[in-house]
Amino acid sequence: MAKAGFPVTTEQLIVSVEQYLKEIKRPCVLFNHGRPGRTWVKAIIRRNPTISKRISQDLTASRAKVTGDHLSEWYKRVYKELEDSVQA
């Protein structure tokens, strides 16, 4: 999602981990009901300095000036990312 320009929210990360653990059928006794909590997310961010937490910002004038060509290129990049993730 980040490659496509959409940052992952804390809730999305928690749900992804929960789904992954269910998919591989690995119970995790550290999490309540198999779901990591916010303290787990904070600990992951602390242990992995390459992960950064970002706060959304208002739309700037330069970002608001998007043309049809820009949108077309963006959709092509997103489509390619989706194709690559399906093939992986």
Q: Is the pLDDT at 3 greater than 80, yes or no? A: no
Closest C-alpha among 50, 49, 44 to residue 16: 44
Convert the pLDDT of each residue in 28-58 to its tens digit. 878 888 889 889 989 998 999 888 777 766 6
Report which listed range, 8-12, 26-30, 79-83, is most confident. Answer: 79-83
In whole angstroms, give the CA distance from residue 14 to residue 37: 7
In whole angstroms, give the CA distance from residue 5 to residue 32: 31
pTM of the model: 0.55
Q: Which residues pair with 35 in a beta bridge?
A: 32
